[in-house]
Structure 1
Amino acid sequence: MRYTFKNEIFKEGNRYFIKVPFNVWEECGQKGLIPVEVSIGSTHFECRLVPKGNGVYYIPILKKLVSQIMDEAAEGTFQIIDGLTRINHDSPYSKQHPIRKIDNIQKLVYPKEGYCGQTCIAMLTGQSVEEIIDIMHAKAWRCSFAKLIEALDYFGIQHGDRVTYTHGEEFILPKCCIVNVRDERVSHYVLYYQGHYYDSKEIHFKDIINYLEIIVE
């Protein structure tokens, strides 16, 4: 089903949006970050509707598309899709405008096993684990550094350009990073920030296989 909205772009902070003119929870029966395919005249793109609370949602508009869309039709439409073509396709965030400044970490513990990587991303972004699972399209035990990097890029979080392997040698962890440690059955992702491992398990330095730096101030 396609839903109609007026082509009225507004700026909030450094980002551009179009407000959905109805309660999305009631009209569409969905909550969270909802993936959609948007059409405004000859312009088509994918994005996730941005929740503002109580069923109010914004359509994020990339800065490079603003002038083009303003010259298009007076109305546009969107339809809900199963997921974006890629996680970072038409993301509303960028390296210049990330989801947040990482200057603190709130510890999260997710009750289900196999979602350690998604929990790391949730703590870095300030989002819920459920929202991150939906965005990453990664089920239990299916996370990887490639998936993590794709999610970091989606949220505009800067990171190292490669994963660093320890090879059993001496090393010093950066201020913030996602580390991959040996576990009983499979490897386990843990968020490290300012000398602290944000995990319910006891982490031993010798068990770190590799890590990806998260660039913070």
Structure 2
Amino acid sequence: MPYSFTSGLLESGNRTFIEIPFNVWDTCNQKGMISVSVMVENVSFECKLVPKGDGKYYIPITKTIIKKLERRNDLYVQFEIIDKLSRITANSPYNKEKPIRKIDSINYIKTPADACGYHACVAMLANVSVDEAMKVMQSNTKREVSISKVIEALDYYGIRHADKFIYTKGKQVDFPKCCIINAKAEPNGLLMVYYNEKYYNPAVEVQYDYDSKRIVSYMEIYID
């Protein structure tokens, strides 16, 4: 069932929202984390509503969406509750039997100013441009990325990987030939690709050694 109303954009800190003007708990008979399909004017997207307590929710608006909207107070908004967000793998031309490539080398990519290391790691593993990785990951800013999006992007490209990250607890470990390493860094942490005894650190350069005490976890990338 679709729900509709008119509203404007609400700025809160460095984020932008649309406030839903009714109690979602009572009107939609839904509580907790709610996934929705949204149409603002003629711009459609999916997201999870942001709860503010007592049935009050906000629709989060990314910078990509903001650029497509006029800043008016009478934007037509319509949303419909869905079971879950569509995965970015939905229309992938690749799969685990037919991946984008066989990983037998890594071409180093340094993080561009408008992206982050998460994008660069996916680009290096898939051997695509950072712009292509950002498009597939549906994230155009540093604030829109997450490890879960990295994993979805790997699935999109048919790149096989372990089911989860293994925590090293700062200990020295023998990494598999290829993996993604999650390390401590300010402000948001660091992801880098490890391949054939080299650390492809998108924040710096290719490194032959890295402080194990700064490594949090790793996830194997299967290349055989």
TM-score by length of structure 1 reads: 0.57
Runs of 5+ unmatched residues, structure 1: 1-83
Q: Deviations over 1:15-58 (max 9, x none)?
A: xxxxxxxxxxxxxxxxxxxxxxxxxxxxxxxxxxxxxxxxxxxx
Correspondence list, 1:32-181, <5 A: 85-112=86-113, 115-138=116-139, 139-181=141-183
Change (3 A) 1:111 1:90: closer
Residue 189 (structure 2) aligns with: 187
State the Cα distance separating 1:173 from its structure 2 match.
1.1
* 1:178 aligned counterpart, secondary structure: strand
Q: Which amino acid aligns with 2:215?
A: I
Q: Which amino acid aligns with 2:217?
A: N
* 2:142 aligned counterpart, secondary structure: coil
* 2:182 aligned counterpart, secondary structure: strand
Residue 27 (structure 1) aligns with: none
* 1:156 aligned counterpart, secondary structure: coil
* 1:215 aligned residue (177, 200, 222): 222
Q: Is the 8 A contact 1:115 1:141 kept in 2?
A: no
1:207 & 1:113 partners in 2: Cα distance? 25
State the Cα distance separating 1:114 from its structure 2 match.
5.1
2:206 pairs with 1:204? no
State the Cα distance separating 1:179 from its structure 2 match.
0.6
Change (3 A) 1:168 1:206: closer
* 1:119 aligned counterpart, secondary structure: helix
1:212 & 1:105 partners in 2: Cα distance? 17
2:156 & 2:143 partners in 1: Cα distance? 21
Q: Is the 8 A contact 1:177 1:191 kept in 2?
A: yes
Change (3 A) 1:196 1:141: farther
* 1:112 aligned counterpart, secondary structure: coil
State the Cα distance separating 1:164 from its structure 2 match.
0.7
State the Cα distance separating 1:174 from its structure 2 match.
1.0
* 1:99 aligned counterpart, secondary structure: coil
Moved more, 120-129 or 141-150: 141-150
1:153 & 1:159 partners in 2: Cα distance? 8
Q: Which amino acid aligns with 1:107?
A: Y
Q: Is the 8 A contact 2:108 2:200 kept in 1?
A: yes
Q: Which amino acid aligns with 1:174?
A: P
Runs of 5+ unmatched residues, structure 2: 1-84
* 1:124 aligned counterpart, secondary structure: helix
Q: Which amino acid aligns with 1:88?
A: T
State the Cα distance separating 1:144 from its structure 2 match.
2.1
Change (3 A) 1:141 1:166: farther
Name which one, 1 or 2, has greater alpha-carbon Rg: 2
RMSD, aligned α-carbons: 1.9
The alignment of Structure 1 onto Structure 2 pairs a total of residues equal to 134
Change (3 A) 1:113 1:174: farther
